[in-house]
Chains A and B, each alone.
Chain A
Amino acid sequence: MLAQLVDYARLKGLGTEPGFTSKEIRWLVGVSPAGQWTELIPLDQAKTAPDLSQPDMMSLPGYLRAQGHTVEQAAHFLADTCAVVFGLPERDAAGNIRRPEEHAKNLQKHAAFRLLIQLAANDVPLLEPIAQALSDPQQVQAFLQKLEAQAQKRGPERLKSTDKISFFVNGRCVLDCPDWHDWWRQFRAHAFPRSGAQGQMPSFASGELVTPASTHPKVTRLGGSAFGHALVTYDKEAFESYGLSQGENAAVDELAATAYRAGLDALLEKAQTLGEMKVVVWYDREIPEEDDFFRDLFAPSSGEAEELQALERAHRVLQALKTGQAPPEIRNSRFFAAAMSPASGRVMVRDWQIGRLEDFVEAVTTWFEHLAIVRRSGDQSASLPGLNRLFLSLQRPKSPEQKLDDYLKPVKTLQVPLWRAALNPRLPIPYAAIAKIMESHTAEVMTGAFSEALQAQKPDAATLGRIYARMGLLKAYHIRKGESMSTALDPQHPSPAYHCGRLMCLLAQIQEAASESEINAGVVQRYYGAASSTPALVLGRLTRLSQHHLAKMAKDAPGLAYWFNTQLAQVWSALGSNLPRTLSLEEQSLFALGYYQQLAQSRKKETPQTQAPTTPSLFQE
C-alpha cells in the first residue's frame, strides 16, 4: 500500500517534502511593515505549513535549551492555534477560563512560538514585522482583546481558541511565500538529526536501500482525533522484531513516509464512509471522472448532472474496456482500495485490495445488477442503494437519542465483508447480514410499517429506500449462492419458500379486497411470522379461510374473485402438492422476496396489450 500511496502523491503533485504539511488555517492576522497588528481576516483554507512530528515536538525544547534559550514547551512554527499564538484562553459561559493548567501550558507554548519566529526573522526579512509585533506585549494584549470579542460571536464568525491562525504580510499569507522554506529546512536538519542504519535497509515503499525514518508523520484526515493517526507505527516493544527499533521494522525513508502520508491525507479528504470505516479507491493513473465508479458505489444516482443511471453507465464503460474502445492507458490501469478506521492514534487497516480497473467496473456492475429490485409500483427497478445506506438498512433505523457507535455495534463486523462483496462478485453476501435483515424486516412487516410504506400515497423516501435496499441484498445473497433470482416476480422460481411468500401476499390481498371496513389486524400482522417459519401449519388454514372471502367477493365483484382464483391457482401449481413444514432462515428470506415481488406485481399498471379484461390493478400508485 505504501508504494501505491507514494506513487499517487507524486502523480497528483502533492507536497511530499519532509517538514511540510497541509494545515487548515481558519484565520489570518494582518501585520504592517512597521510591525503592527492590523486586522483579523477569516480564511478557512488549507495551506502548506511547517510540520513537526511527535518526536520532533518532544525534542524541540531540549534542542532550544541547548542553544541557550529558556523554553518549557514546544510549539509549531508560523501556524498554530489562537491559544498558542496569542494565548487566547478557552472560556465557559460565565467567562471563566476553562482548564487553567492547559492555558498555562499554552502560554509557555506561546513563548516557544515567539522564539521560533524571532530566530527565523534573523534570517528571513519577511518575518521581521511579525517578530516585532509578537515581542510587544502591549500590542499582543490589545489584539488578544479583539480575538476575545470575536470568540463571543455566534455562528460561523465565532473564533475558537483551537482555530489555527497564521500571518498576512505584504498582501500575502506568509505560508504562501517560499522565503522561510530554506531557514526551516536548515533548522530541522540541525534540531532533529536523523539516526538509524544509513542506507542499509530495503524500503517497503520502493525496494531501494534507504535510511529508515524511525517514526512516520501522522495522517490527519481520518477523523476521531485532532492529533492524527500513524499508519506505520511500532509503539510498544512487543511489536518490534529481532532487535529492530521503531521504523526499522518496516524500513521507509523519511521522504517516502511524507509522500505516503500526503497521498493518504488527500484520499481521506474525499473518502466515503461505511459504518465507522473510511474507504478510499484510487488508480495508478488519471482516470476520467465519468469512469470512476467509486462514488457511484456509495451514491449511485447522485452524480453531478448525471443523466445515465449508474448501472447503465457502468455497462457502457465496461463495454468500452472490453471491446478496446477505451484508450489503452485506461484499459491497463489498476485500482487500489483501502478501508481504514482510527484506533488509539493508529490507523487500523481493515481492508486492502488491488486489481485491474476493468475488474473494478465489472464488480460495480455486477453489484448493482445483483442489488436491482423491482420498485413498489412493479413497473421498473428501484433506485440503487449506496453502500453505506445499504449497510445502515440492515437493522432498524437509528433513534435520535442513540449514539452512532452503539447503533453500529451489532453490525460492525459486517462492514468489511460487505465492502469486499461489493468489490468482488465472487464473494458471498455474509449470512449474518441476511439474519440481521430478516430480524428487522419481519418485525416491520408484522407491525404493518412495511405495507404502510408500500401503499402510502406519499411514502417516506428513507423507509422505502430501506425496503428496496433490504430486498435487493436478499436477492444478491441468493444470486451469489448460485440460485436464480429475477428483479421482479418470477412465477417459475424453483423454491417453494418463494411461492409461499407469494401465497401469503395473495391471501392478505384477498382479505383486504373482501373486507368492507378497515381491518384492525389483518392476516399479515397476525400470521406473517408464523407463515414464514412454518408455512404448512398456517398457509393451508389461511387458504381455507380465504375461500369465504372469495365467495363473498364473487357476489359483488365476480371478476376480481375470478382473478384472485387464477392467481392462487398459479401459485399452488408452482408450489406443488406439499407445503414445506418449516423454513430455514435462508428460505424465510426467499419467502420475504416472494411476498414483496408478488405485492409489487399486483400494483403493476398493465399495458393495453397485456391487460386482461378481468384483471384489476389492486392498488394504484
Chain B
Amino acid sequence: MRSFVLEVWGELACFTRPEFKVERFSYPLITPSAARGIFDAIYLDFDPQSKKSLMYWQISRIEVLCPVRYISLMRNEVKEKATLRNIQAWMRDPSHLEPLYADATKDDTGQDTKGRTQRQTMALKNVRYRLRAHAVLYREDHALRQKIEHSFERRARAGQCLYQPYLGCREFTGYFRLVEPGEEARPVDYTEKIGWMLYDVFDLSRPGAPLRTDRGEKPRISLFEAEVVAGVLLVPPYESERVQKGVN
C-alpha cells in the first residue's frame, strides 16, 4: 500500500465549521473531508455496473506549511436551494418554471425566505498544506490497487484532475502538485488543540452513492478531536474509535 503526498495551496480557503455556517467561520486548517475531496478530484475509481466507488482516500497526515491567517469577507449568498422536485417538474413541463432569483432582494421577491442575503465569511488567507493519504479499497484486490495507485500517481504528477480541486468552498480554487519521495516539508510552528472537528459528512465504511435526500436519506456525520502539534495534524483512520460516527 502506497501513500501519496500532495502539496496544495490557494489564495483563499474556507473550511466552514458546521456550527458557524450561517455567518461562515473557518476551521484554522483543512478538514480531513476537504482534503479527501482534493484526492477525489484527481482520481477515484468506480464500479462500472453499480456506479458506486470502489475505494476512498484515507487522509493520514496534514502538514500546515503557511501560518494560519484569517481574512474577513462579506459575500452575497442565496437563501433558497434548487430542489430536485422543482427541477423534475420543470423537466416534465418547461412552461411551468419557477426560477431561483439569486440576486433578488426582499423588494423583488416580497418575502424573507427567497432571494439574496449578505453574510460574513471568516476565510483563511494564503494557505498551503501537505496532505498524505492512501487508498482504502472496499474489497482488497492487488490488481485494482496497482491500477489506482499508478493512475493517481500519473495523473497527479501531470497535474490532471477530474474537476478543479477547491479549498472548502467551490469558489476558493485549490492548486496541487505531487510531492516526490525525499522532498522535505517544513511545517510552521503551530500547536493547537482545536477540539471537535468535522471528520467527514459521509459514511466511508461502505461504497458511497449520491445521497438521495429526496428519499429521506441522511448523511453520516463524523467528528474527531483534532490537535495540531508543531504544524502537523495526525488524522486517525475512519475505523478508529477516535472518530465519533453518527448512527445511520
> Which residues of A are in contact with B by a Cβ distance under 8 Å?
1-4, 197, 199-209, 231-239, 241-244, 248-252, 334, 343, 346-352, 354-355, 413, 416, 420, 426-427
| B230 contact set on A, CB distance < 8 A | none
Chain A residues with CB under 8 Å of B69's CB are 427
Please give me the residue from chain A that is nearest to B216 by CB atom: A243
Min Cβ gap B244→A in Å is 4
Between B19, B195, B214, B223, the greatest number of chain A beta carbons within 10 A of the residue's beta carbon is seen for: B19
Interchain CB contact under 8 A, A242 and B219: yes
What A residues does B70 contact at CB under 8 A?
351, 416, 420
Give bound CA distance, A231 to B70, whole Å.
20
Chain B 55-93, CB-CB to A under 8 Å as 1, else 0, gives 000000000000101101000011111000000000000
Stretch at the interface among B1-9, B21-29, B42-50, B148-156: B21-29
Chain B hits for A354, CB < 8 A: 192-195
Majority secondary structure of chain B interface residues (helix, strand, loop or mixed): mixed
Max chain A C-beta neighbours (<10 A), residue from B22, B195, B201: B22
Considering the chains assembled together, what is the distance between the CA atoms of A427 and B69 in angstroms?
Answer: 9
Are A200 and B246 closer than 8 Å at their CB atoms? yes
B229 at the interface (CB under 8 A from A): no
Closest 7 CB pairs of A and B: A243-B213, A250-B19, A250-B18, A202-B244, A236-B79, A200-B247, A242-B219
Asked if residues B72 and A413 are in contact (CB atoms below 8 Å), the reply is yes
Q: Which residues of A contact B246 (CB under 8 A)?
A: 197, 200-202, 209, 251
Q: Which residues of B contact A200 (CB under 8 A)?
A: 246-247
The answer to whether B244 touches A242, judged by C-beta atoms less than 8 angstroms apart, is no
A350-B72, A426-B67 as given contacts; A209 in contact with B120, CB under 8 Å: no
Q: Give Cα A200 to B248, complex, Å.
A: 7
Asked if B23 and A204 make an inter-chain contact with CB atoms under 8 angstroms apart, the answer reads no
Contact among A209, A235, A350 with B122 in the assembled complex (CB-CB below 8 Å): A350
Nearest-neighbor residue (CB-CB) of B112 within chain A: A236
Contact (A355, B223) CB under 8 Å given A201-B246, A242-B211, A348-B23: no
A620 CA / B136 CA spacing, docked (Å) = 79
Q: Are A241 and B22 in contact (CB under 8 A)?
A: no
In the bound assembly, the distance between CA atoms of A200 and B222 in angstroms comes to 11
Q: In which size bucket is the chain B interface?
A: 35 or more
Shortest beta-carbon distance, A229 to chain B, in Å? 11
In chain B, positions 191-248 with a C-beta closer than 8 Å to chain A are 192-196, 201, 211, 213-214, 216-219, 221-223, 225, 244-247
Given contacts A202-B244, A351-B122, contact A239 B21 (CB under 8 A): yes
Contact status B80-A204, CB under 8 Å: no
The reply to whether the CB of B53 lies closer than 8 angstroms to some CB of chain A is no
Pick 27 A–B contacts, CB within 8 A, sort by A: A4-B195, A200-B246, A202-B244, A204-B18, A204-B19, A204-B196, A209-B244, A209-B246, A231-B19, A231-B20, A232-B19, A234-B21, A237-B79, A237-B81, A238-B78, A238-B81, A241-B21, A241-B201, A243-B214, A243-B216, A243-B217, A250-B19, A251-B221, A334-B193, A349-B25, A349-B122, A354-B194
A236 to B219, CA, bound (A): 19
- A244's partner among B17, B122, B218, B222 (CB-CB below 8 A) is B218
Give the chain B neighbours of A250 by CB distance below 8 A.
Answer: 17-19, 21
CA distance A236 to B23 in the complex (A): 12
Q: Does B211 lie within 8 Å of A243, measured CB to CB? A: yes
User: Known contacts A201-B221, A202-B222, A202-B244: does B196 contact A3 (CB below 8 Å)?
Assistant: yes
